[in-house]
């Protein structure tokens, strides 16, 4: 059994203090009610003898506790990348979560094969790392996604069942009743009034969070027509493939710092893939980061101290990879200009509530099939055109996946095999699209300027003490260069 991050007495003190630093890292089951809560729950603190403590939501549910309707464990921060000793089990957990939220079928023996291990070994290391079996983890993720959709959206129960990965309404009702001891419709009645169609979905994060630095990064790179940053809100268009169809919509993500939450509104057209969209937002805004582990390392990185630095990720991994390729050996402004031209020429027009959001980023299949000369007329050099179309071909053929559940080493190898893709490009894609916290683009001119050397080997040697959070060090150094005090 995996050891808890805290002993029981220390965990109880964290619950009494409603310490948000432990949100998502600790859950408390209350034997007198049969409910489990986040440590930040605002209900009356239970008596110590009635508390049982768990590392994960899946452990709490395996012990027959059901999620609190007040603090809502399903919106708590989730797994970030962990140290190497747990990397294999955590990769499996991320793949399971990715499959649940995207609606993809998941066969555990196939997952084990993708990891290069046997099914038996997967079950053994998963149990040791997370305290439950992969099947229990899968069920918990499906049910918690269903609970969030029932609470935050007016989607019919049948749609919720399908969106959360259950093959039928009967199976969904049985699983829900078996785990939570109430019917889905009853949970909706007891949790709150029926949500409005424009009610936001809530996602929590662990404080501190450097929201200013995160949004400044996005603002400096925002592509007209696709995204816009205004105050604490990031808005963007989004295309999503679902059961052979291409869905087009928009997102509005508003930071609510006093609640340590992001409130997400999505276009009705994205309702069938809300689970996948929420997972993508978590990655894009790095809401699962653990500042308590990252900040002490970043304290040794040159530049002003910044608490809660986040790693800006990708809501659309393919889009991010295209933008990285277009950013090879040019300034941020020049890369943005090239991207805007690509969007205007090959993107899909869309109506949104905001005049500045007019196009969805081009689909991989569209760029793969485009005339190379047509792309070249946008001012994109021939080598970049070859790289873009090779990338688009692999993504469109479903041979290359660019999200945090994708296997790191095979994906890096596949990227480096593409024409015109070198180590810098692969590392930046891994940093932002795969959410790899130790990515290190050693040849980046910004890093060299910040660290005072033009030798990539020396740049890498200087970063050794920042492992396994070198990607966060990149963001801190880039931010200092782009925002000098």
| CATH of residue 90 | 1.10.10.60
Q: Which one from 9, 212, 444, 455 is the annotated catalytic residue?
A: 444
Q: What is the mean pLDDT of the chain?
A: 90
**Share of residues in the chain with pLDDT > 90 (%):** 66
Answer whether residue 153 shows pLDDT above 80.
yes
| Pair 256, 144 in one domain | no
- The angle subtended at Cα 196 by Cα 192 and Cα 199, nearest 5°, is 90
Checking if the pLDDT of 82 tops 60, the result is no
Query: 114 versus 154: which is more confidently predicted?
Result: 154
Start-end of H helices in 192-290 = 211-221, 274-284
Do residue 140 and residue 239 come from a single domain? no
> Could you tell me the CATH number of the domain that includes residue 71?
3.40.10.10
Query: Is it the case that residue 206 has pLDDT exceeding 80?
Result: yes
> Mean pLDDT across the stretch 188-194?
61
Do 206 and 260 lie in one domain? The reply is yes
pLDDT band with cut points at 50, 70 and 90 for residue 173: very high
Nearest residue to 70 (alpha-carbon basis) of 100, 29, 104, 36: 36
pLDDT over 80 at 160, yes or no: yes
Residue 213 lies inside a defined structural domain of this protein: yes
Over residues 125-129, mean pLDDT:
87
Interhelix angle 134-152/108-115, rounded to 10 degrees, is 110
How many Å apart are CA 147 and CA 150, to the nearest integer? 5
Q: What's the chain's length in residues?
A: 485
Cα distances from 32 to residues 7, 8, 51, 190, 472, in angstroms, run 21, 17, 9, 19, 42
Higher pLDDT among residues 437 and 85, named by residue: 437
Partnered with residue 264 across adjacent β-strands are 201, 253
Rounded to whole angstroms, the Cα distance separating 54 from 377 reads 58
83 is catalytic: no
Q: 142 lies in a domain?
A: yes
Shared-domain flag, residues 352 and 238: yes
Question: Is there a single domain that holds both residue 69 and residue 116?
Answer: no
Cβ neighbours of residue 424 closer than 8 Å, sequence gap 6 or more: 328, 441, 442, 443, 444
288 catalytic? Reply is no
Q: What tokens does 388 get?
A: 């873009």
Q: What CATH number does the domain containing 234 carry?
A: 1.10.340.30
Q: Does 345 lie in the same domain as 318?
A: yes
Instruction: Give the number of other CB atoms < 10 A from CB of residue 48.
Output: 12
pTM to 2 decimal places? 0.83
3-state helix vs strand vs coil in the chain, percent to 5: 50, 10, 35
Q: Among the options 23, 37, 51, 90, which is catalytic?
A: 37
Task: Measure the CA–CA gap between 295 and 473, rounded to whole angstroms.
Answer: 10
DSSP, res 23: B
Q: Is residue 478 part of a domain?
A: no
Q: Which of 429, 333, 421 minimizes the C-alpha distance to 385?
A: 421
Lowest mean pLDDT among 19-23, 330-334, 367-371: 19-23
Whether residues 345 and 246 fall in one domain: yes
359 token code pair: 């196009």
In a domain? residue 376: yes
Is the domain of 380 the same as that of 261? yes
- Between 191-200, 389-398, 433-442, 465-474, the lowest mean confidence (pLDDT) is in 191-200
φ, ψ of residue 25 to 5 degrees: the values are: -105, -10
Lowest-confidence segment of 86-95, 301-310, 476-485 by average pLDDT: 86-95
**Amino acid 83: pLDDT:** 37
Whether the upstream peptide bond of residue 437 has omega within 30° of 0, thus cis, is no
134 Cβ contact list (under 8 Å, min separation 6): 92, 96, 108, 111, 122, 123, 126
Neighbours of 294 (CB within 10 A): 23
Q: Which residues contact 253 (CB under 8 A, 6 or more apart)?
A: 233, 234, 235, 262, 263, 264, 281, 285
Select the more confidently predicted residue: 114 or 325: 325
Q: Do 401 and 274 fall into the same domain?
A: yes
Residue 412 lies in a domain: yes
Same domain as 234, residue 101? no
- pLDDT category of residue 34 using cuts at 50, 70 and 90: very high
Q: Is residue 104 part of a domain?
A: yes
Decide if 41 is inside a domain. yes
Which of 191, 163, 161 lies closest to 174 in space, CA to CA?
A: 161
Give yes or no for residue 358 having a pLDDT over 90: yes
Structure tokens of 76? Answer: 């708590």
Whether residues 360 and 381 share a domain: the answer is yes
The predicted model gives 120-149 an average pLDDT of 88
Q: How does residue 84 score in pLDDT terms, banded at 50, 70 and 90?
A: very low
Kindly tell me if the per-residue pLDDT of 120 is higher than 50: yes
Picking from 58, 75, 92, the residue at the C-terminal end of a domain is 75
CA distance 330 to 327: 6
Local confidence band at 3 (pLDDT 50, 70, 90 cut-offs): very low
Least confident of 39-53, 184-198, 239-253, 441-455: 184-198
- Whether residue 226 is predicted with pLDDT greater than 90 in this model: the reply is yes
The answer to whether residue 191 scores a pLDDT higher than 80 is no
Percent of the chain whose pLDDT exceeds 70: 93
* Per-residue pLDDT, 195: 64
pLDDT for position 275: 87
66, 101: one domain? no
Q: How confident is the model at residue 81 (pLDDT cuts 50, 70, 90)?
A: very low
Number of domains in the chain: 3
Q: Within a domain: residue 132? A: yes
Q: Is 144 exposed, middle or buried (0-12, 13-18, 19+ CB in 10 A)?
A: buried
* Domain coverage including residue 127: 84-191
pLDDT over 80 at 406, yes or no: yes
Spatial CA neighbour of 361 closest among 340, 343, 375, 334: 343
């Amino acid at each position: 059994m995996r050891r808890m991050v805290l002993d029981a007495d220390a965990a109880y003190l964290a619950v009494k203090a409603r310490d948000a630093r432990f949100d998502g890292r600790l859950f408390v089951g209350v034997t007198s009610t049969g409910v489990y809560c986040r440590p930040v729950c605002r209900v009356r603190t239970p008596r110590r003898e009635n508390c049982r403590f768990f590392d994960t939501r899946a452990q709490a549910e395996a012990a027959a506790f059901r999620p609190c309707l007040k603090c809502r464990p399903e919106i708590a921060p989730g797994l970030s990348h962990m140290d190497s000793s747990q990397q294999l089990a955590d990769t499996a957990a991320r793949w399971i979560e990715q499959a649940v939220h995207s609606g993809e079928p998941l066969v555990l023996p196939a997952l084990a094969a993708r990891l290069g291990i046997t099914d038996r070994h997967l079950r053994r290391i998963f149990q040791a790392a997370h305290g439950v079996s992969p099947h229990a983890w899968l069920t918990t993720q499906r049910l918690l996604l269903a609970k969030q959709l029932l609470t935050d959206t007016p989607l019919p129960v049948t749609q919720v069942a399908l969106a959360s990965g259950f093959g039928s309404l009967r199976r969904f009702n049985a699983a829900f009743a078996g785990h939570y001891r109430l019917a889905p419709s009853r949970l909706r009645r007891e949790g709150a009034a029926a949500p409005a169609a424009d009610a936001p979905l809530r996602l929590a994060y662990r404080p501190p969070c450097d929201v200013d630095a995160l949004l400044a990064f996005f603002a400096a790179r925002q592509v007209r027509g696709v995204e816009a940053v205004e105050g604490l809100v990031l808005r963007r268009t989004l295309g999503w493939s679902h059961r052979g169809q291409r869905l087009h919509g928009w997102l509005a993500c508003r930071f609510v710092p006093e609640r340590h939450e992001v409130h997400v509104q999505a276009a009705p057209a994205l309702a069938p893939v809300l689970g996948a969209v929420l997972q993508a937002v978590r990655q894009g805004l790095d809401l699962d980061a653990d500042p308590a582990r990252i900040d002490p390392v970043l304290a040794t990185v040159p530049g002003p101290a910044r608490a809660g630095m986040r790693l800006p990720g990708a809501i659309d991994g393919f889009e991010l990879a295209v933008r990285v390729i277009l950013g090879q050996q040019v300034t941020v402004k020049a890369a943005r200009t090239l991207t805007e031209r690509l969007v205007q020429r090959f993107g899909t027009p869309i109506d949104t509530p905001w005049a500045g959001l007019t196009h969805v980023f081009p689909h991989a299949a569209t760029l793969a099939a485009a005339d190379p000369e047509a792309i070249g007329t946008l001012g994109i050099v021939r080598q970049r055109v070859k790289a873009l179309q090779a990338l688009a071909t692999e993504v469109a053929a479903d041979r290359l996946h660019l999200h945090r559940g994708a296997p790191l080493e095979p994906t890096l190898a596949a990227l480096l095999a593409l024409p015109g893709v070198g180590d810098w490009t692969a590392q930046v894609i891994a940093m932002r699209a795969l959410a790899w916290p130790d990515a290190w683009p050693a040849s980046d001119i910004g890093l060299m300027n910040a660290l005072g050397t033009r030798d990539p080997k020396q740049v890498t040697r200087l970063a050794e003490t920042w492992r396994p959070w070198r990607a966060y060090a990149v963001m801190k150094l880039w931010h200092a260069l782009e925002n000098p005090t």
